[in-house]
């Protein structure tokens, strides 16, 4: 029996189980007669339990679902994927710039460069009316005297005794500019004043207090600490007043500051550290004003503040230390931290729902936050029920024991044609792919990776494995974002062309029909995680496609923890089937930059391309949206050419809902629930309610 036949029989086997077991669970009408509050309760069925209910620590989708209901961020995305204020009512971005006084060459008119002359010339240009952009951008100018001696931030230098040396530098005089916006090209703006070559001759090694000639590594440290121009972008968040945590404690700027500190505390092991590392300081300027200053240009800065904010009064170090002592877990090593706190199983946030109860591997219960700043949700109770078996999940949904669950692709058509249920769909912001270990000689040539991709009929996978619930994708961005380049064509399904590419690289079929080169068979292992039926089906389809090409592929499926810890994280694999759930920011540093290819990092396929690195770095410094679009699409084309992944498809996310569930507008009008532009089916969840009878629409 072939793979396609098995895939087609799967829904029939499930349906047979439904017929046998349909009467096991009480019907919805029976439930509502017994418990009238059932109309005020939403019950969601999920395949797996949450892991940790903390916005700075969680890294799984189940935990994320609960965290988004219990916590608020300063910002979030509206239904059109634009940022909007939540705990912050508004925000503004400005910048401080520090320019080194470079005395190595004079001004264009021949005058010597001094700090006071730089200041005077900038102020004169600002008030002259001749340079309107400079006038609008530069708010103030200040001279900072040099001479202070500070240590050079240089970790790898050691003395002969093996003790860390502390190279020191004497700071040169600088000019501080306060700007009305972030201006990455400030020297271009000041070119009429300072000259177009300003800073070209600046050598920071002149300020190193050491008789030794600096080596290359030391020079890099000097250039990082003493750049000609130091950019310090600043975001000021004006916070919403009269917001309270679920225990009644007021929300203030101190909570925002604490949340940042909790992320950066090493022993907390937050997966969000890299997003917040570029921050220089977070200041609680006033109870409802936060100033965040960055060390360098970092255009994704605003987007990271969509993460939930923690209550400082419940999690400060002294509170955590007291908990450790009460639980008998305090000790000399002081290892007990936020990750160990009981808070993670009984969270307190500012969100629309309050945490009530967690029965491991069974359910999580939340109740409505009557004091929610944006108005309480319509539902009084929310239950997250863990139902691993897909048959049981469908049975409970059809009986009304749960109100919603995510459908398998083969189930969608059956529910779409039902008069009792509706489906709520959105194209997911992620994609499924086959990742090749680019470090291995077998996969180091992009032509090999391209040939392997051309041998796969991705349209057939979408049609028979996904039942049409997905779209072809060609690159690293979500299809619904402006960063995605729709002009990049997907790889053609062309097995003959794939074979020609491999033959041109010296691979030829032997008597057994297997590709061979220099006495070695083209053979590798393809792995994925257990528990994902779709990935397991793709495993079989791809193996069969490559076998017809002459490639010997061995397949294995591992439990998730083993899959990550033993294979993906250390990079000990040949090829994997996986997926990414992406954000809406163009920054892809963690997944694709060559410096992120180490153990436990996200560029686990070991992709390296200097052009890709250059664009990724430029994107982090670019604040102009049109230029970000241009750069991101260039990155898309480079990665699509290199094929470090075979990009397969972006899946649709489809949930089944009872037709009694509607969305209520502020005016009281009802309509069918709808997903956001980004595919979030729960975007309007706070306005959902369940009626006693299904409406006509």
DSSP for 556-580?
EEE-HHHIIIIIITTT--SEEEEEE
Under DSSP, is residue 519 helix (H, G, I), strand (E, B) or coil?
coil
The residues facing 558 across adjacent strands are 529
* pLDDT of amino acid 331: 63
HEC assignment per residue over 174-211: EEEEEECCCCCCHHHHCHHHHCCCCCCCCCHHHHECCC
Average pLDDT over residues 174-203: 93
Q: Is the dihedral of CA 683, 684, 688, 694 positive or negative?
A: negative
* pLDDT of amino acid 13: 42
Under DSSP, is residue 432 helix (H, G, I), strand (E, B) or coil?
strand
Write the CB contacts of 207 (distance below 8 Å, at least 6 apart in sequence). Answer: 169, 170, 171, 172, 222, 226
Average pLDDT over residues 471-500: 96
pLDDT tens-place string over residues 405-455: 999 898 898 888 888 899 988 888 899 999 999 999 999 999 999 999 999
Cα distances (angstroms) measured from residue 170 to each of 99, 142, 155, 296, 332: 16, 20, 18, 21, 39
How many Cα atoms occupy the beta-carbon half-sphere of 558 within 13 Å? 17
Token reading at 60: 């799984």
Nearest to 54, CA basis, from 336, 307, 327, 382:
307
Q: What's the first-to-final CA gap in the chain, in angstroms?
A: 43
The CA angle 637-580-4, to the nearest 5 degrees, is 95
Under DSSP, is residue 358 helix (H, G, I), strand (E, B) or coil?
strand
Burial class (CB in 10 A: 0-12, 13-18, 19+), 567: buried
Nearest to 165, CA basis, from 204, 225, 218, 213:
218
* pLDDT of amino acid 14: 44
Domains of the chain: 3-80+321-424 (3.40.190.10), 83-91+235-314 (3.90.76.10), 95-233 (no CATH), 430-652 (3.10.105.10), 659-697 (no CATH)
pLDDT tens-place string over residues 584-636: 889 999 899 999 998 888 899 999 999 999 999 999 999 999 999 999 999 99
Cα distances (angstroms) measured from residue 162 to each of 157, 165, 208: 9, 9, 21
* pLDDT of amino acid 608: 97
* pLDDT of amino acid 581: 86
Nearest to 496, CA basis, from 444, 459, 539, 548:
548
pLDDT tens-place string over residues 28-75: 444 444 455 889 999 999 988 999 999 999 878 889 999 999 999 999
Q: How confident is the model at residue 27 (pLDDT cuts 50, 70, 90)?
A: very low
Q: Please report, rounded to a whole number, the percentage of residues in the chain having pLDDT higher than 90.
A: 73
Under DSSP, is residue 92 helix (H, G, I), strand (E, B) or coil?
strand
User: What are the backbone angles phi and psi of residue 322, rounded to the nearest 5°?
Assistant: -65, -40
pLDDT for residue 551 is more than 90 = yes
User: For residues 240 and 252, is the Cβ–Cβ distance under 8 A?
Assistant: no
* pLDDT of amino acid 10: 45
* pLDDT of amino acid 187: 94
Distance CA(334)–CA(337), nearest Å, equals: 8
Nearest to 424, CA basis, from 683, 684, 659, 654:
654
User: For residues 259 and 310, is the Cβ–Cβ distance under 8 A?
Assistant: yes
Write the CB contacts of 344 (distance below 8 Å, at least 6 apart in sequence). Answer: 52, 53, 54, 57, 338
């Amino acid at each position: 029996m072939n793979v396609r036949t098995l895939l087609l029989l799967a829904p029939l086997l499930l349906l047979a189980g439904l017929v046998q077991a349909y009467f096991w669970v009480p019907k919805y009408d029976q439930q509502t007669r017994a418990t009238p509050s059932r109309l005020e309760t939403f019950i969601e069925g999920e395949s797996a339990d949450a892991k940790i209910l903390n916005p700075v620590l969680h890294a799984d989708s189940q935990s994320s679902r609960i965290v988004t209901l219990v916590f608020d961020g300063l910002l979030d995305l509206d239904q059109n994927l634009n940022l909007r204020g939540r705990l912050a009512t508004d925000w503004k971005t400005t910048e401080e710039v520090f320019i080194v006084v470079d005395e190595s060459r004079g001004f264009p008119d021949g005058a010597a460069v001094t700090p006071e002359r730089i200041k005077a010339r900038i102020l004169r240009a600002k008030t002259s009316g001749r340079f309107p952009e400079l006038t609008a951008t530069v708010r103030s100018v200040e001279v900072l005297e040099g001479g202070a001696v500070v240590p050079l931030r240089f970790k790898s230098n050691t003395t002969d005794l093996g003790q860390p040396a502390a190279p020191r530098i004497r700071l040169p005089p600088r000019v501080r500019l306060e700007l009305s916006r972030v201006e990455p090209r400030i020297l271009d703006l000041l070119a009429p004043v300072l000259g177009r070559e300003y800073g070209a001759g600046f050598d920071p090694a002149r300020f190193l207090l050491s008789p030794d000639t600096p080596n290359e590594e030391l020079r890099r440290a000097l250039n990082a600490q003493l750049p000609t121009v130091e950019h310090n972008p600043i975001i000021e968040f004006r916070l919403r007043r009269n917001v309270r945590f679920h225990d009644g404690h007021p929300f203030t700027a101190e909570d925002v500051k604490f949340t940042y500190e909790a992320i950066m505390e090493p022993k907390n092991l937050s997966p969000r550290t890299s997003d917040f590392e570029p921050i220089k300081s977070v200041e609680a300027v006033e109870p409802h004003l936060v100033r965040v200053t960055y060390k360098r240009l970092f255009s994704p800065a605003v987007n990271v503040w969509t993460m939930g904010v923690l209550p400082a009064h419940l999690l400060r170090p002294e509170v955590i230390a007291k908990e450790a002592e009460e639980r008998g877990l305090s000790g000399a090593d002081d290892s007990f931290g936020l990750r160990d706190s009981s808070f993670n199983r009984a969270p307190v946030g500012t969100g629309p729902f309050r945490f009530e109860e967690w029965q491991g591997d069974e359910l999580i219960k939340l109740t409505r936050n009557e004091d929610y700043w944006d108005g309480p949700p319509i539902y009084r109770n929310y239950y997250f029920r863990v139902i691993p078996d897909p048959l049981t999940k469908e049975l409970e949904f059809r009986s009304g024991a749960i109100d919603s669950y995510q459908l398998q692709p083969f189930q969608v058509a059956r529910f779409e044609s039902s008069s009792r249920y509706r489906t709520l769909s959105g194209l997911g912001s992620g994609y499924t792919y086959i990742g090749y270990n680019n470090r291995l000689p077998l996969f180091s040539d992009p032509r090999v990776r391209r040939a392997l991709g051309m041998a796969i009929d991705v349209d057939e996978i979408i049609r028979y494995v996904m039942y049409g619930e997905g779209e072809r994708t060609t690159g690293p961005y979500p299809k619904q974002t402006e960063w995605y380049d729709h002009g990049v064509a997907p790889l053609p399904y062309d097995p003959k062309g794939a074979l020609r590419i491999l033959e041109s690289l010296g691979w030829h079929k032997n008597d057994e029909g297997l590709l061979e080169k220099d006495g070695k068979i083209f053979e590798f292992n393809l792995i994925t995680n257990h528990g994902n039926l779709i990935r397991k089906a793709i495993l079989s389809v791809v193996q069969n496609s490559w076998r017809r090409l002459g490639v010997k592929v061995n397949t294995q499926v591992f439990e998730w923890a083993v899959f990550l810890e033993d294979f993906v994280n250390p990079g000990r694999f040949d090829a994997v089937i996986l997926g990414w759930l992406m954000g809406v920011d163009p920054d892809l540093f963690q997944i694709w930059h060559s410096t992120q290819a180490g153990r436990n990092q996200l560029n686990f396929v070991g992709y390296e391309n200097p052009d890709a690195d250059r664009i990724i770095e430029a994107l982090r410094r670019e604040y102009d949206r049109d230029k970000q679009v241009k750069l991101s699409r260039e990155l898309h084309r480079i990665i699509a050419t290199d094929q470090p992944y075979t990009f397969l498809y972006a899946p649709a996310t489809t949930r089944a809902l009872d037709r009694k569930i509607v969305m209520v507008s502020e005016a009281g009008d009802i309509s069918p629930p709808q997903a956001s532009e980004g595919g979030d089916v729960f975007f309007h969840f706070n306005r959902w309610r369940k009626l006693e009878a299904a409406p006509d629409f």
